[in-house]
Amino acid sequence: MADYGESIRLHPELAAAQIARAKQRLRRGDVTGAMADFDEGLRRDPRDATAWGERGYAWFVRGEPRRALEDFGRSLEIDPAAAVVWQNRGSVRAGQKDFAGAIADLTRSLELDPSSAEALRFRGMAHQLKGDLRAAAADFERALEIGPPAWEGRGDAQARLEEIRKRVPK
């Protein structure tokens, strides 16, 4: 963290160090510090799609999904090929019960990165919450096929798939 501070002190006009420090703070759980750095970095470089996406995630962590969706949207306006931002926006939309929007975003994420077990799991959850259990099961099955053995979403995907199989015969 000290290196970021020194870089910012030496080159205050550059947004990259500010944004890198914001990401590090967010990973460490310092959401308030991360938000301050994202704000300053975006003031310096408002075209940084990654910073908008990361700040969107920080808004989500702070429990402000509306603001998260706004920042994810700004990020995607700048870089519509950012699969993880489509995934994150889809996840937040599902939490807001916008299942059609969530499924659309997660489908776009998967078009850009078909190897994302996490996007498949989130899309499966959106299908499940929407009541489309067959589509949910298909996404969970595919996620379990392509997800690495140590994938942290594996247990959740497996449990959801088992729950669906009890309710809907193949």
pLDDT by residue (tens digit) across 143-158? 999 999 999 999 999 9
In the chain, what percentage of residues exceed pLDDT 90?
84
Residues 154, 97 share a domain = yes
Q: What H or E segment, with its residue span, contains residue 78?
A: helix 65-78
Q: Are residues 66 and 103 in the same domain?
A: no
Count CB neighbours of 101 within 10 A: 17
> What pLDDT, on a 0 to 100 scale, did the predictor assign at position 119?
98
Query: Do residue 56 and residue 112 come from a single domain?
Result: no
In the Cβ-directed half-sphere of 137, how many Cα atoms lie within 13 Å? 12
**What is the reported pLDDT for 120?**
98
Both tokens assigned to 36: 């301050």
- pLDDT, averaged across the chain: 92
Q: Which of 95, 102, 160, 106 is nearest to 133 (CA)?
A: 160
The tens digit of pLDDT for each residue in 38-48 reads 999 999 899 99
**Are 90 and 169 within one domain?**
yes
**The CATH number of the domain where 124 resides is what?**
1.25.40.10
Of 80, 115, 133, which residue constitutes the final position of a domain?
80
Task: Find tokens 């009890």 and name the residue.
Answer: 166
Question: What's the chain's Rg over C-alpha atoms?
Answer: 18
Quote the pLDDT of residue 12.
55
- 90 and 126 share a domain? yes
Specify the pLDDT at position 92. 98
Using 50, 70 and 90 to split pLDDT, how confident is the model at 169? confident
Give the range of the structural domain holding residue 144, as residue numbers without chain letter.
85-170
Domain boundary among 80, 101, 133: 80
Residues 80, 103 contacting (CB under 8 angstroms): no
Enter the pTM of the model. 0.88
Q: Which of 80, 105, 129 is the last residue of a domain?
A: 80
Closest CA to 55 of 79, 26, 82: 26
**Residue 93 shares a structural domain with residue 62:** no
Residues 38 and 10 occupy one common structural domain: yes
